[in-house]
Amino acid sequence: MCASLFDAGFGDNASNKLFTDLSSHASIDNDNYVIPSFDRNLYEYYIPSNADRDALVGNVTANYVNDVSYHLVARHPVFYVVPKKGELRLIAKPQLSTYHLLLYASDCLKPSRKSSNVSVIIRVYEEVNDSDNDNQVINNDAEPEIIENDDESSSTKVTIRRSKRSVRPPKTYEFKESDGSSPGAVVVSLDKKHPMEVFKLESTNRWVTVDTNGAVRVKEPWDYEQLEKHKSIDFWVFVTGPNLNGKQCKFFSKPIICDLF
């Protein structure tokens, strides 16, 4: 609010002067007040335990009208984020663990506008050749050991699993949107390392289903506009198969990303 005093006189008589106090008000329109927001509620990445230093783990992306910077809520001994790119990278050798990180994005204004924190889960696996597992039994039922970091400033919680799991290399398939127009149609068949392997989706997926024989089928007609920003369909598959002793081993398949164009 600002105030002005106006002095208006009539003739030569000072007593005829009129003093008026005028006030004007300024209001701020908050309708256009926006903050950066991430394109996902949760990011989840998988990396091998033998990944090189400075290897790319994954990218996070925030939507905003201007440029943003990306930050870890707390410094981390294994991972860092490239501020202007949103790239998560390694700065040290990771353990066979599950890491939970928190990130946020901010703009360049003063005062700066910050996004809500977003969770990032990074799972570290040991690459094991599937053929080597035919001669051994893998115990996946061992209880995990939880290690809490005593540093209050750290946002890290590490879960260490003593058992080993085989993770197959990621595969990418490119499709046209029209390839997924018919529900029930088989778009790709997953490779088998053993004729008795059985496949199962880790969790329900809106766009695809996976048969026990590895056939990936269209569940709902693919809609390019309704896919996430990266325009891909990604999912994990559990693969079970008998080893030489007739016992069941469980393997985890890397995400199968169907890039649409």
Q: What is the pLDDT of residue 65?
A: 77
Q: Are residues 156 and 221 in the same domain?
A: no
For 195, 244, 256, the CA distances from 236, given in Å and listed in that order, are 20, 26, 7
Q: What is the pLDDT of residue 127?
A: 64
Report how many helices (DSSP H) and strands (DSSP E) the chain contains, helices first. 0, 23
Within-domain flag for 150: yes
What parts of the chain have a pLDDT lower than 70? Answer: 1-33, 127-170, 228-230, 242-261
Task: Give me the residue label for tokens 């008589």.
Answer: 13
The boundaries of the domain holding residue 178 are: 169-261
Q: What is the pLDDT of residue 106?
A: 93
The answer to whether residues 216 and 191 touch, using CB atoms and an 8 Å cutoff, is no
pLDDT digit string (tens) for 142-159?
A: 344 333 444 444 444 443
Closest CA to 68 of 89, 82, 88, 54: 82
Within-domain flag for 227: yes
CA 239 to mean position of chain CA atoms? 24
CA 166 to mean position of chain CA atoms? 23
Q: Are residues 253 and 203 in the same domain?
A: yes
Sheet with 87-90: strands ordered across: 56-59, 87-90, 79-82
Q: Are residues 260 and 241 in the same domain?
A: yes
> Quick check: helix, strand or coil at residue 246?
coil
Q: What is the pLDDT of residue 115?
A: 92
Within-domain flag for 244: yes
Structural domain count of the chain: 2
CA distance 5 to 21: 5
Q: What is the pLDDT of residue 99?
A: 94
- Last residue in a domain, options 145, 167, 189: 167
Within-domain flag for 61: yes
Within-domain flag for 29: no
The CATH number given to whatever domain includes residue 191 is 2.60.40.60
